[in-house]
Amino acid sequence: MNKVILIVVLLGTSWVSSQSIFGKWKTIDDRTGNPKAVIDIYEKDGLMYGHVVEILEEGKENALCSKCDGDKKDKPVIGMTIIEGAEHKGDGVYKGDTLFDPQQAMTFRCKIWLNPDNSDELKVRGYLAFIYRTQTWIRVES
């Protein structure tokens, strides 16, 4: 009987962790379909943040933010925070004013949520005025 309870607990734990928006995600270029980077999304003081932990594009592994201004100018993209202070708005949706694209050196407003049909897909939408683009990021298994 104890083994059955343990199995149920372990299966329940893995299901719950797979439902979390927090963790590592592989970014996929919405135009080419190619993987670009791995982003670690985490919670700090009740807000969502994300930073680059790995660049997957061949030849760009040690990229610097050459188009950036200010304190990000010519800094390594690995380690760079690209999502800052997004707030949970309910129903698993996070919104914020800082989704930074180091390749374009542009900051967008954002909306981020798990795909309701597949919890291993993260929808990341960046807004510039009334124009937006949505990418689907893929969960990276631990």
Residue-level pLDDT at 7: 39
12 and 4 Cβ atoms separated by less than 8 Å: no
Residue-level pLDDT at 5: 40
DSSP-based three-state secondary structure for 70: helix
130 phi/psi in degrees, rounded to 5: -100, 0
Nearest alpha-carbon partner for 26 in 141, 142, 138 = 138
Burial-class residue 62 by CB neighbours within 10 Å (0-12, 13-18, 19+). Answer: exposed
Residue-level pLDDT at 141: 86
Residue-level pLDDT at 62: 94
CB atoms within 10 A of CB 118: 11
What ranges do the domains of the chain cover? 21-139
pLDDT, greater one: 46 or 4: 46
- Average pLDDT for 101-127: 96
Confidence of residue 18 (pLDDT cuts 50, 70, 90): low
Q: Residue 88: is its pLDDT beyond 50?
A: yes
CA–chain centroid gap for 24, Å, is: 7
Q: Which of 3-7, 15-19, 31-35, 97-101 has the lowest mean pLDDT?
A: 3-7
Confidence of residue 23 (pLDDT cuts 50, 70, 90): very high
Q: For all residues of the chain together, what is the average pLDDT? A: 88
Q: Residue 67: is its pLDDT beyond 90?
A: yes
**Cα dist from 25 to 82, 117, 126, 132, whole Å:** 13, 17, 16, 20
Residue-level pLDDT at 17: 43
Which helix (H) or strand (E) segment holds residue 63: the answer is none
- CATH fold of 21-139 reads Lipocalin (2.40.128)
Nearest alpha-carbon partner for 112 in 33, 27, 54 = 27
Residue-level pLDDT at 19: 84
80 and 63 Cβ atoms separated by less than 8 Å: no
Burial-class residue 25 by CB neighbours within 10 Å (0-12, 13-18, 19+). Answer: buried
